[in-house]
């Protein structure tokens, strides 16, 4: 299956974050005229870095478990929401609230008390 990746601003790509020292989904911040990603941002540490082709793959290659509000989530966990699609927990706000980064934006979601 040969799928040519087409990216747009706001898409997520996995890239190694030097600040976090962890590979995670970064948000595409800018594209070149021919549609190549030039800059990406880390949702955890907010660092903006050059996109390094070859070191990244589509974030959708790893699929999180279906979202379950009775579950307790940790920062960095991925989940699959029936409406919003794949998301990654970027912050635990309160014991029962968390911010989840979806393909388009961050949404505040319920979670179980952990
Ligand atoms: Zn980072």
Q: What is the mean pLDDT of residues 64-78?
A: 89
pLDDT tens profile 16-48:
888 888 888 899 999 988 888 999 999 889 899
Residue 60 has pLDDT above 90, yes or no: no
DSSP string computed for 44-93: TT--EEE--TTS-EEGGGS-PEEP-TTS---TT-EEEETTTEEEEEEEEE
Answer for the pair 13, 54: CB distance below 8 angstroms, yes or no: no
Q: Tell me, in angstroms, the distance from the centre of ligand 1 to residue 2's CA.
A: 30
Q: Ligand 1 centroid to 95 CA: how many Å?
A: 23
**Ligand 1 center to residue 1 CA distance, Å?**
31
* Distance of CA 78 from the midpoint of ligand 1 (Å): 16
Tell me the whole-structure pTM to 2 decimals.
0.48
Q: How far is the CA of 89 from the centre of ligand 1 (A)?
A: 13
Question: What integer is the mean pLDDT of 77-102?
Answer: 90
Mean pLDDT of 87-109: 91
């Amino acid at each position: 299956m040969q799928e040519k990746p087409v990216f747009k601003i706001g898409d997520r790509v996995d890239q190694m974050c030097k600040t976090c020292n962890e590979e995670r989904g970064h948000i595409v911040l800018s594209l070149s005229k021919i549609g190549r990603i030039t800059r990406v941002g880390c949702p955890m540490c907010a660092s903006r870095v050059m996109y390094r082709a070859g070191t990244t793959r589509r974030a959708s290659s790893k699929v999180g478990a279906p979202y379950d509000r009775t579950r307790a989530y940790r920062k960095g966990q991925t989940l699959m929401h029936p409406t919003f699609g794949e998301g990654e927990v970027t912050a635990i706000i309160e014991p029962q609230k968390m911010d989840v980064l979806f393909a388009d934006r961050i949404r505040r979601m319920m979670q179980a008390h952990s």
